[in-house]
Structures are given as C-alpha cells and as structure tokens.
Amino acid sequence: MWRYAGRHTEPVTIDGATYEVTVHLATHEGAPRCVGVELRATGLPISARPTDGDWAEVNTTTMKHLRLPELVARAWRIMGDVRRAAPALAATQPRPGRPPLVKGDQLLRVAEAFNSTTRGHQGAAVQQALRDLGVEGNGHKGEVTRDQANRAIAAARRAGLLPPASNRGKGTK
C-alpha cells in the first residue's frame, strides 16, 4: 500500500540561477519512494497564468545538475525520518566501475558504529560493524580492511549521515 509521507521545498542554485524544488515523498510497503518532483524558477507564481518576470530557463543542463537522490535523502532527514534517508540515496543509478561497498541501511549502521566510539577508534568500530553485516572484505583471508572501513565512513559522510571530517591540523602552518 502506498502512503503519502509529505513534501519538502528548498531552493537550489544551478549555474548561477535559483530554482525551487519540491520533493513529494511516500512509502510503498514500508520502502521510501520519491513520487513527485516540482522544479520552478524562483519567483514564478503558482497559478494557471503566470505574469511576466525575470525567470531562469529549465533545460537539460538544469535537469542534469539537479541532484535528485541527495534532495530526496535530505527531505527525508528534514522530515525527521533518518531511517529512510539512506535508502533514498541507494536509489541512484549505478555508476560504471566497482559497486559500492555499503549502501542503504548499511550506511546507517556505519554511522552508528562511528558515532558510538571515541575519537581515534572509529575506524576499528566501523571495521567490526562491516564484519557483523557480512560485508566481504578485500583482505588476504577475506577480512574487512581498514581502507574499506575508511571508504565506508567517507560514503556515510557523502550521504550526510556523518559530519564532514575535521582537518586535524593538516595543511596549516
């Protein structure tokens, strides 16, 4: 059964032009889904007969640079449903190359493991969480490597489930 979860509107700037994007969200059998997207130039009135104005054109470049999976995930987070933010990101089109190590709900587990440990030990905690999830490792005996744990942490950061990494003094004199 489909259940409408709500909508979220936010401004987006693409190539110097500002647009308003409204994302409509629903669930289908408990799984998060995006069921609608409205994109309009900022200032364009919502009416049957818009008046003259200084608007930005919506074209293929605009659509190509509209990061829909990120907007959907952010909308779920803003609506207070963090559990559904990560699966929304997993709905992206597959990219060429090696598939991602973790995705969807696994990213949430990575973020939980990272946040549950003291600074300096997060990598080991994520490494253990990946083992617990049954992720196949690249190590000599199939174990999850430290590099894989670090890449999983980076993926959780890109998904917005973890804050940006601190500079820790690198690059400063």
pLDDT in tens, 4-35: 888 888 888 887 788 888 989 888 887 778 88
| Contact call for residues 165 and 157 (beta carbons, < 8 A) | yes
- Total-model pTM: 0.46
Please identify every stretch of the chain with a pLDDT value under 70, giving residue numbers as ranges.
Answer: 43-55, 81-96, 99, 167-173
Q: Determine contact, residues 91/69, Cβ cutoff 8 Å.
A: yes
Main-chain dihedrals φ then ψ at residue 119, nearest 5 degrees: -60, 135
| CA nearest neighbour of 127 among 151, 108, 155 | 151
Amino acid 89: pLDDT: 53
The pair of structure tokens assigned to 82 is 């963090």
Tell me, what's the pLDDT at 56? 75
* C-alpha distances out from residue 155 to 58, 83, 86, 128, 162, Å: 30, 16, 11, 17, 9
